[in-house]
Amino acid sequence: MRPKDKIAYFYDGDVGSVYFGPNHPMKPHRLCMTHHLVLAYDLHKKMEIYRPHKAYPVELAQFHSADYVEFLHRITPDTQHLFSNELARYNLGEDCPVFENLFEFCQIYAGGTIDAARRLNNQLCDIAINWAGGLHHAKKCEASGFCYINDLVLGILELLKYHARVLYIDIDVHHGDGVEEAFYFTDRVMTVSFHKYGDMFFPGTGEREGKFYAINVPLKDGIDDTSFTRLFKTIISKVVEMYQPGAIVLQCGADSLAGDRLGCFNLSIDGHAECVRIVKKFNLPLLVTGGGGYTKENVARCWTVETGVLLDTELPNEIPENEYIKYFAPECLLNIPNGHIENLNSKSYISTIKMQVLENLRCIQHAPGVQMQEVPPDFFIPDFDEDEQNPDERMDQHTQDKQIQR
């Protein structure tokens, strides 16, 4: 047993105040609810809490194309009517709307994941949590599925500076297609995604195994805790044994929970959290992010319980008084009822998937080696001269925090 894990937790309240629009299922407000629940259970006292830096455009361009980053930086709700060609090219529109402070939102959630990876690299923590991250659909040159910047890819690129192999695990109900695509041709990242496939379910990928180190576990509607966690444990244990990663990134999309607005699984919070428990037991540097999740009070419950799991802390079922308590009414309990969607995953279907995945694992080269180059520097921050700044302009909270001695 190693000594108690040191946990770094990243949060910036500004990330929860953006608004995708009235009928949009993505509600960043769920991040404020999660954070207040974490505080209400006193979990913050057991972790180091950081406000992430806002990722610089040049950091985002380590994966995304510079012209796409530049466009996100420039576009606003007031000017979007002038750029219909670009909106189409970069796939901005109904699923990925342009809203107030869009770029800053991306900078904060991506900055959190990059910071988390850097702290792990420098052995300043054992586990790093960024619930605002996990936006796994964004592609190199376009937005997709409510995701604009793929923070996971940026975090993994950071981890690859120090680790020969990184394992990415995704338990969102949607296929982690953006991350799979980004690392499809390298053996230094293995991606494993457990997701719903079929019936034209977004994004429509993830049925077959990747050519190299991409493992997909396509599931049908209604999968329950027992089948999911059993399958998860078998596959992930084998993957870790074969691939021997130096670090793990775990995307905990909560839309795989029962009762999600866009999901179709029957997982309870306990079942979902069991996956986190399984991964934690490998005792490898671990970066944990959020992801999807569209019934916001359940998202907050789930990620709070999982923060507790990472801290080895059992939480009482009764939700303590907090700013968002009315969202959890009338019961105000952490546990949610199980789902009632028919489980279409027969025993034979599950065992076929398991056999296929284990067979594919046998075909890969055992823990590929890598010739390590000189490690690129962590941070490359454009200088700005404090003297040149206008003293009359109000300094934002972020800049003020930077100047405060811890």
Go through the domains of the chain in sequence order and give each one's CATH number: 7-402 (3.40.800.20)
Q: Closest Cα partner for 282 from 251, 252, 314, 243?
A: 243
Report CA torsion sign: 90, 54, 373, 178.
negative
Distance CA 364, CA 356 (A): 13
Catalytic one of 35, 137, 175, 272 = 137
CA distance 255 to 265: 8
Is residue 69 helix, strand or coil? helix
List the structure tokens of 3.
């000594």
Nearest CA to 284 out of 244, 242, 239, 248 is that of: 248
Q: How far apart are CA 98 and CA 57, in angstroms?
A: 18
pLDDT band at 18; cut points 50, 70, 90: very high
294 is in an annotated binding site: yes
pLDDT at residue 312 is higher than 60? yes
| Cα diameter, the chain | 69
Mean pLDDT of 389-397: 58
104-118, 139-153, 199-213, 305-319: which has the minimum mean pLDDT?
199-213
Quick one: DSSP state of residue 28?
A: T
* pLDDT score, position 381: 52
pLDDT band, very low/low/confident/very high, at 121 (cuts 50, 70, 90): very high
How many Cα neighbours within 13 Å face the side chain of 360? 20
Determine the average pLDDT of the residues in 364-389: 63
As a whole number of angstroms, the distance between CA 302 and CA 172 comes to 13
Does the pLDDT at position 373 exceed 80? Answer: no
Side-chain-facing half-sphere of 335: CA atoms under 13 Å:
8
Instruction: Check whether 168 is labelled as a binding-site residue.
Output: no
Residue entry with tokens 């960043």: 28
Q: Are 234 and 227 in contact (CB under 8 A)?
A: no
pLDDT digits (tens, 9 = 90+) for 37-56: 999 999 999 999 999 999 99
Indicate if the pLDDT at residue 406 is higher than 50: no
In this predicted model, which residue has the larger pLDDT, 200 or 403? 200
Is residue 276 predicted with pLDDT exceeding 50?
A: yes
128: left (phi over 0), alpha (psi -120 to 50) or beta: beta
User: How high is the pLDDT of residue 405?
Assistant: 42
Residue 193 has pLDDT above 90, yes or no: yes
pLDDT at 71 over 60: yes
Instruction: List alpha helices for 90-212, DSSP H.
Output: 102-121, 151-159, 177-182
Beta-strand ranges (E) seen in 243-387 are 247-251, 286-289
Q: What percent of the chain has pLDDT over 90?
A: 84
Output the CA–CA distances (angstroms, integers) from residue 173 to 95, 244, 368, in the order listed: 17, 26, 29
pLDDT of residue 37: 98
pTM over 0.85, yes/no: yes
Q: Would you state the pLDDT for residue 337?
A: 83
The per-residue pLDDT for 391 is: 54
Asked whether residue 210 is marked as a ligand-binding residue, the answer is no
Residue 379's pLDDT band, with cuts at 50, 70 and 90, is low
- How far is it, in rounded angstroms, from Cα 89 to Cα 91? 6
Rounded to whole angstroms, how far apart are CA atoms 318 and 331? 8
44 labelled catalytic: no
C-alpha to C-alpha distance for 252 and 129, rounded to whole angstroms: 11
Residue 32 CB partners (closer than 8 Å, separation 6+): 13, 16, 17, 324
Q: Specify which residues 10 forms β-bridges with.
A: 50
Short-list 97, 188, 190, 95, CA closest to 144: 95
Q: Please check if 9 is assigned to a binding site.
A: no
pLDDT of 11 over the 80 cut: yes
Q: Is the pLDDT of residue 67 over 80?
A: yes
- State the Rg of the chain over Cα: 21
Mean of pLDDT over the chain: 92
Task: Fill in the DSSP letter of residue 136.
Answer: T
Coil, strand or helix: which one is 10?
A: strand
